[in-house]
Amino acid sequence: MNGHMTRRELIRLLSAAGFGTLISSAVRAEAPAAAPESAGFVGRLIDPTGAPRTPAAMVGGKVIQPERQLPIMHETDVLVVGGGSAGVTAAIAARRAGVRVALVERYGCFGGLWTGGMVLVVIGTHAKEGGEKKKVVRGIGDELLERLTKFDGAIMNQKPGAHNPTADPEAVKFMMDEMVREAGVNVFFHCWGADAVMDSKTIRGIVFESKAGRQAILAKVVIDTTGDGDIFAAAGAEYEQRTYAIGTVHRLGNMDRTDKAKAAGKKLPPLGGATPLPGVTWVNTRGPKANGLDIEELSRLEMEHRRNIWGQAQQLRRTPGYENVFLMDTAPQLGVRITRVLQGMYKLTYKESREGKKFPDVVAVGGAQGAQHVGWPIPYGVLLPKEVDNLLTAGRCVSADEKLLDDTRLIAACLTTGHAAGAAAAVAVQSNCRPRDVDVPRLQKLLREQGAYLG
Ligand SMILES: Cc1cc2nc3c(=O)[nH]c(=O)nc-3n(C[C@H](O)[C@H](O)[C@H](O)COP(=O)(O)OP(=O)(O)OC[C@H]3O[C@@H](n4cnc5c(N)ncnc54)[C@H](O)[C@@H]3O)c2cc1C
């Protein structure tokens, strides 16, 4: 579908892509209001949600939080904290292996930076092996990408011979919901993992905050896929913290209704790359290096980036040939690339990756940004903290040297390290051992059975 896309056409496109229930509510929202918003709705009285509160107290000018017992909201085998690319594949892998899994996410959808951050291109899906382009993202991550090809407008470049597909964020959210639900994972949205529950050097679960107050979830194994290492930091694991470029992604609409010739010689703001939606581009922003854990910095950047993006969109609309372009949306989630990085049992280096160094405990293979160099085997040790037990990590905060972080944080690598961590957690539970003691050949066998590529 080319040409101007009206709201009605967008709805028709999504409808064709199979988003039936979403469309029916969208259509309802568009219909002339038969009843005003406030008419006829009566809420009923219910018991207050959550445990009785114990507020902090002012004592001698200090804020003191009194000691109190926390309700245990849930107990499980494997608890995954953070539902981004890594967390979702981890949860599905563990659950498919047959253990009970809970997945805690601070927002109301899955995908993390891929969806909420609107980072749409899955880079690093392929590597060059024996002169040939070879797909290294397989297993659960690739299954997700493949399933998106069934929907019009959900993904592009997910086909033989192509690499680095671009996905629509709503389609990814939808498919992650589907796969998590099918697997039978217990989902807890709107829960912010705030602390670790420790028994000496062993993690026993987490404390989380929600509208219902502060509660705990206990688990045999915890996987930190918060991207920022919130849980391994709370558990006392060794880590490095870095500043990194923080940007905000945005999308532009009507990019197929432009006349480039009219704008000849004019300096244009970034126009972005194609997405599966006709006429819609996504614009990546690098942004300044900043501390992604400093809330004042994050608040400033949110507002500055939005202001700049608004200004750029207005500049574009004033440019001859680009008058129809509009700012479709800014990503609801700020683009924090790197903060805490685990100092794990093994620290993988850039040099080792480019040499394609082999590891006996390989659990995934990373790809090349443009499928131009060899795949890099990822050893199990990058997911394991040195000292804390029953804890794993995956995604953009795995143990790697500074130069390799630009590869370990790519979505394809996050999908595969997540898959590996979930499978490892399941094997640990089933073998009744610590994750650092799992039988690696057994773990590798499970990963291969689940479709993962280990080289
Ligand atoms: C601006 C930008 C552009 C990028 N461009 C590309 C690109 O073009 N291609 C590419 O492949 N990669 C790109 N990346 C990198 C990539 O998007 C991320 O590194 C990757 O998506 C990270 O996945 P993750 O699962 O490790 O972490 P995240 O996606 O950050 O997921 C972490 C999840 O945990 C949740 N969470 C965090 N803390 C808590 C907590 N305490 N309790 C509960 N839940 C929590 C978050 O809400 C989130 O859902 C880009 C990144 C940025 C920021």
**Could you tell me if residue 46 is inside a domain?**
no
Q: Domain range for residue 329? A: 244-336
Residue 325 CA, ligand 1 centroid: distance in Å: 28
C-alpha–C-alpha distance, residues 25 and 31, integer Å: 10
**Could you tell me if residue 34 is inside a domain?**
no
**Could you tell me if residue 57 is inside a domain?**
no
Within 10 angstroms of residue 354's Cβ, the number of other Cβ atoms is 15
Interval 430-447: pLDDT, tens: 999 999 999 999 999 999
Helix segments in 241-294, DSSP class H? none
C-alpha–C-alpha distance, residues 400 and 397, integer Å: 8
Ligand 1, atom 5, lies closest to the CA of 119
Residue 32 CA, ligand 1 centroid: distance in Å: 39
pLDDT tops 90 at residue 112: yes
The pLDDT of residue 377 is 98
Please give the model's pTM, rounded to 2 decimal places.
0.93
Same domain membership, residue 229 and residue 89:
yes
C-alpha–C-alpha distance, residues 351 and 245, integer Å: 23
Same domain membership, residue 267 and residue 312:
yes
Interval 238-255: pLDDT, tens: 999 999 999 999 999 999
Same domain membership, residue 156 and residue 292:
no
**Could you tell me if residue 9 is inside a domain?**
no
Same domain membership, residue 266 and residue 327:
yes
Structure tokens at 418: 């997540």
Q: What angle do helix axes 85-96 and 411-431 make, rounded to 10 degrees?
A: 30
Same domain membership, residue 258 and residue 373:
no
As a whole-number percent, the residues of the chain with pLDDT over 70 amount to 92
Question: How many distinct structural domains can be found in the chain?
Answer: 2
Interval 329-355: pLDDT, tens: 999 999 999 999 999 999 999 999 999
Same domain membership, residue 416 and residue 312:
no
Same domain membership, residue 178 and residue 258:
no
Ligand 1 atom nearest to CA at 194: 41
Which of 311, 336, 361 finishes a domain? 336
Residue 107 CA, ligand 1 centroid: distance in Å: 13
The pLDDT of residue 19 is 47
Same domain membership, residue 324 and residue 398:
no
The pLDDT of residue 31 is 56
Helices vs. strands in the chain: H and E counts, helices first:
11, 24
Structure tokens at 449: 């059975």
Same domain membership, residue 423 and residue 280:
no
Contacts of 289 (CB under 8 A, 6+ apart): 243, 244, 245, 246
Same domain membership, residue 98 and residue 203:
yes
pLDDT tops 90 at residue 420: yes
Ligand 1 atom nearest to CA at 124: 11
Residue 359 CA, ligand 1 centroid: distance in Å: 27
187 touches 217 (CB < 8 A): no
Q: What angle do helix axes 411-431 and 139-148 make, rounded to 10 degrees?
A: 130
Ligand 1 neighbours, Cβ below 6 Å, are: 81-87, 104-107, 112-114, 117, 119, 121-123, 192-193, 225-228, 230, 247, 249, 284, 335-337, 395-396, 409-411, 414
